[in-house]
Amino acid sequence: MARALINVPPKAKRGEVIEIKTLISHPMETGYRPKGDGSFYPRDIIHKFVCTLNGEEIFRADLYPAIAANPFISFTTVARESGLLMFSWIDDRGEAQMESAKLVVE
């Protein structure tokens, strides 16, 4: 669907608070942008973002049209165990983009 960038620290100490940064390319069409003929471009935004580690949810966000295009979301989590981070962005067309990243805790 789109290009996504994910920034996870390459290695984390056990118990350390790590910051995870995500960026995905998406127009985040608000539904309020005029076409010029009196109608508006239909709304198409990513309305949900979820991040899980080994299947357990660690962060979730509900997004609205006031989130800028190409949504950037950054959050923190405590590095407890190594595993697979799964990221998913769900847009108004019901399309979900999934990305994954490895978390290495030593």
Partner 1 sequence: MSEKQPSVLSRRGALGAGGAALIALVVRPAHATTQTMHEAIQHFTGGAAVKPGRVTMDIPPLVENGNSVPLTITVDSPMTEADFVRAIAVFNERNPQPNVGTFHLNARSGRAFVSTRIRLGDSQIITAIAQMSDGSLWSGTAELVVTLPACVEN
- Complex with partner 1: residue 6 or 65, whichever CB lies closer: 65
The least CB distance from residue 76 to partner 1, in Å, is 5
- Complex with partner 1: residue 65 or 86, whichever CB lies closer: 65
- Complex with partner 1: residue 4 or 61, whichever CB lies closer: 61
DSSP state at residue 36? S
- Smallest CA-to-CA distance from 46 within 69, 66, 28 is with 28
CA dist 58 to 54, 63, 87, Å? 10, 17, 10
Q: Which of residues 44-83 bind partner 1 (CB under 8 A)?
A: 57-69, 71-78, 80
* By CB under 8 A, residue 37 contacts partner 1: no
CB 22 within 8 A of CB 74: yes
